[in-house]
Structure 1
Amino acid sequence: MSIQLTDIVKSFKTDRVLDSLSLGVSRGETLVLFGPSGAGKTVLLRLIAGVIDPDEGRIVINGVDMEGVEPEERGIGMAFQNFALFPHMDAHANIASPLTARRRTRADIEDRVNEVAELLKIRHVLGHKPKELSNGQKQRTALGRALAAEPSILLLDDPLRNVDAKLRFEMRLELPRLLKAQEATVIYVTQDYKEAMALGDRIAVMGAHGIAQVGTPEDIYLTPADTTIARLFGDPAINLLDVVPEQGGGGPEIQLSGARMPLDTAYAGVVGRPCILGIRPETIRFTEAGAPGVIPVEIEAETPLNEKTVTLAATRAGREILISRPAGTPGPDRGTAHIAIDPSGALLFDQATGKRIHPGESA
């Protein structure tokens, strides 16, 4: 089923949480809602589910306007942060409850509950009631209940928040496969950018009162709409340096540590405009002195992080730069070093607004 939200407004007293929000989710798509706490992600799920009503705007599911349609009539599976488990039922009965309501056979129910419990690693607690479960087990039980009924639409509110790191990693691999197999339309809330990148066909980044950017994980990472979004995605974080592009002999360029770094010629229109240069740490490499565009830096610290090594360096003006390279790759750990930056990977943002400057844009 498809979901279409048009000009949604929702306020609580004087606090306007969502302001003229519009968003579409295609049939069978997994859309991740990503953003900080308080951005309105859970509110948006509750509006779609029918738990609360919008002040303004339309919610259309599979071509049908949901105004006046009760939650139980919307054909939606939900797993919210507060678990909402039946306290008098054990985990097995909680997961089975939507199947029992549909009068599925006992054999079908057993097969489905065991399948979901195996995926979520909770078969050993199926006989336990909610008060006997840890928060992580409660969360997985709530997720299992949502998955068991194989609904056409799934609303998942940070369902792996209380899960340990190992299982969380495994679920990032398994959940997409399961959701695709069910052909469900999914809206998945998370504050973990790695989870958003792993699970989403598209990501909707929520900002103040609405959607700040929608795109594929690659779009969001490589072409963030502003510096705020650029900072949210990536570990280590993107380097953001104040610069003013100049006109060089071969096109636009900037100066770092007294060296000239060329920019893509498509940025010729922003020469003289105060900008912020965005450079992902993994796009910077150590190199030998003397090559064109090489920038001298001083190594301040080096930190091994399992699969990568992160180096903190400083330009001659004292501006810090993070450099990331695969673990085991040789690189300097002290003293003066030289780096090269691929101009095609450099981003420019307007210094006043933080908005990304598109290639070809003029000052």
Structure 2
Amino acid sequence: MSRIEIKNLTKSFKEDVVLSGIDLDVPQGSTLVLFGPSGAGKTVLLRCIAGAIEQDSGDVLLGGANVSDVLPEHRGIGMAFQNFALFPHMSAHDNIASPLTARKKTVDQIREGVEAVARLLKIDHVLDHTPKALSNGQKQRTALARALVSEPKVLLLDDPLRNVDAKLRFEMRLELPRLLSDQGATVIYVTQDYREAMALGDRIAVLDGGHIIQNGTPEEIYRKPATINIAKLFGDPTINLLDVVPISDATGVYAMLSDQRIQLDPGLASYAGKHCVLGLRPEALSFTDASDGVPVTIEAETPFNEKSVTLVTTLRKREILLSRPSGTPAPASGTAHITIDPSDAVLFDRETGLRIDPNGNNQAAERAA
């Protein structure tokens, strides 16, 4: 019984409205990633769920029971927040063990539980250290270990890998989903790292301006972002955004790029003649030998370990980025042609910034569970 439900939750600090009408539903045993820019209210929402601060209105339900008036210590939630909140006079071992000690577990149960989670997080060699002797990354992992050790049914994790080095962060992106699945916990995980969000979440809720702007699977968020701002938050290199005016005729719906037609979904015909923004993911573009491709001029190429990114310009000097796996053959300079898969094109309303749905659902944000 660990389903998390948030119903119409609001929270303000004086005149500053931080959260407005938040609705979320996190099914039992699933992981929801709460994603958004700094200052969006992600930590405030977690603290309302935990009971650390009181919402102005709305309800928090855990397992179907309204816990809005229940004290934090009686909500049965495991928490790891950005500020670590470690007991300074206790060793890392005793900090991690504190939830088990409070539950009066045996000495053997405490030792086994602490050592197991410490090995996973690679802090078993500093268990006898006090917090002042730990690096920030070790403190962060100690706080995460403390949240995990008692295998709570509800976990609130506030950017728990933020201060961890890149190698361990990558490893934990692989290990954490398995661990959370094994525990059967219902998790809300806060991060500003889109890769982490894509790797860890069954669903991603994008919080901005006090509202849930979009709530969907990682694939939905990436391929069908609700707004231009969300499109820009996901992906490296960032999405190409080009001002266009769609055209509709007997051949279909299309936009013009370097005097070539870019076919669009027929369902977008109602936006013909309107000012829009065409979104093209760099990895959805590729070089082609076909002369009917979009003519471009290659300006620069930047190699990365796993991919190469090429900057090209159109006939009218609009810049476009292409991304391809390293080692994939491609022209290095001069003129070339690129091809675009229409199924990868996303169209936005330039005035509102909202994605235009070919199926006619051109409403903005999915502000729901």
What residue in structure 2 maps to residue 3 of structure 1? 4
Query: Structure 1 residues 336 and 137 mapped into 2: Cα distance closer, same or farther (>3 Å)?
Result: same
What one-letter code is carried by the residue in structure 1 that aligns with 2:106?
Answer: T
Q: Any idea what SS the aligned residue of 1:46 has?
A: helix
Q: Which residue of 2 aligns with 1:190?
A: 191
- CA offsets, 1:274-304, max 9 Å, x none? 110000000101001423xx10001111001
* 2:328 match: secondary structure: coil
Q: Which runs of 5+ in 2 are unaligned?
A: 363-369
- Listed one character per residue, the Cα deviations across residues 197-239 of structure 1 (whole Å, up to 9, x for unaligned) are 0000000001111200000000100000010000000011000
TM-superposed deviation, 1:308: 0.6
Matched length: 361
Q: CA deviation at 1:179?
A: 0.3
Does residue 97 of structure 1 match 2:98? Answer: yes
The residue number in structure 2 matching 1:325 is 324
Distance 1:266 1:118, change over 3 A: same
Query: 2:74 matched to which residue of 1?
Result: 73
Instruction: Report matched runs for 1:335-350 at 5 Å.
Output: 335-350=334-349
Match of 1:316 in 2: 315
Superposition deviation, residue 248 in structure 1: 4.0
SS in 2 for 1:303: strand
Which residue matches 1:169? 170
Tell me the residue number matched to 1:297. 296
Letter in 2 for 1:193: Y
1:249 deviates by: 4.1
1:64 and 1:360, CA in 2 relative to 1: closer, same or farther beyond 3 A? closer
Question: Which residue of structure 2 lines up, in the alignment, with residue 156 of structure 1?
Answer: 157
Q: In the aligned structure 1, how far is the partner of 2:333 from the partner of 2:291?
A: 19
Report the Cα distance in structure 1 between the residues aligned to 2:261 and 2:73, rounded to whole angstroms.
Answer: 63
TM-score (norm 2): 0.96
TM-score normalised over the length of structure 1: 0.98
SS in 1 for 2:170: helix
| Larger displacement relative to structure 2 (152-161 or 267-276) | 267-276
Structure 1 residue 271: Cα displacement: 1.1
The correspondence of residues 275-290 of structure 1 with structure 2, limited to 5 A, is 275-290=276-291
Written as runs of structure 1 = structure 2, the 5 A alignment for 1:210-289 is 210-289=211-290
Q: For each residue in 1:165-222, what CA deviation from the matched residue of structure 2 results, as whole angstroms up to 9, or x when unmatched? A: 0000000000000000000000000000000000000000011112000000001000
Letter in 2 for 1:75: G
User: Please, which runs of 5 or more residues in structure 1 have no aligned partner?
Assistant: none
Counterpart-to-counterpart distance in 2, 1:262 and 1:8: 43
User: What amino acid maps onto 2:341 in structure 1?
Assistant: D
Residue identity matched to 1:77: G
Which residue is 1:83 aligned to? 84
Contact 1:270 1:361 in 2 (8 A): no
Q: Secondary structure of 1:220's partner?
A: helix
Q: How many Å apart are 1:64 and its aligned residue?
A: 1.1
SS state of the match for residue 110, structure 1? helix
1:108 matched residue in structure 2: 109
Deviation (angstroms), 1:116: 0.3
2:291/2:337 contact within 8 Å kept: no
Q: Which amino acid counterpart does residue 356 of structure 1 have in structure 2? A: R
| Residues 203 and 217 in structure 2, CA contact (< 8 A), matched pair in contact too | yes
For the 8 Å contact 1:270–1:362, the answer to whether it is kept is no
Contact 1:269 1:362 in 2 (8 A): no
Asked if structure 2 preserves the Cα contact closer than 8 Å seen for 1:268 and 1:360, the reply is: no
- How far did residue 264 of structure 1 move? 2.0
Q: Is the 8 A contact 1:28 1:180 kept in 2?
A: yes
Distance 1:183 1:276, change over 3 A: same
Read off the aligned partner of 2:269 and give its amino acid letter.
A
Q: After the TM superposition, which parts of structure 1 deviate over 4 Å for at least 4 consecutive aligned residues?
A: none
Once residues 290 and 319 of structure 1 are traced to their aligned partners in structure 2, the CA distance between those partners, rounded to angstroms, is: 20
Verify the 8 A CA contact 1:27 1:185 in the aligned structure 2.
Answer: yes
Distance 1:301 1:50, change over 3 A: same
Distance of 2:67 and 2:114 partners within structure 1: 30
Letter in 1 for 2:104: R
- What one-letter code is carried by the residue in structure 2 that aligns with 1:299? I
Aligned residue for 2:133?
A: 132
Distance 2:68 2:339 in 1: 57
Deviates more, 1:44-53 or 1:60-69: 60-69
1:247 Cα offset (Å): 2.1
Do the aligned residues in 2 keep the contact of 1:299 with 1:313 (CA within 8 Å)?
yes
> Using a 3 Å threshold, how does the CA distance of structure 1 residues 100 and 245 change in structure 2: closer, same or farther?
same
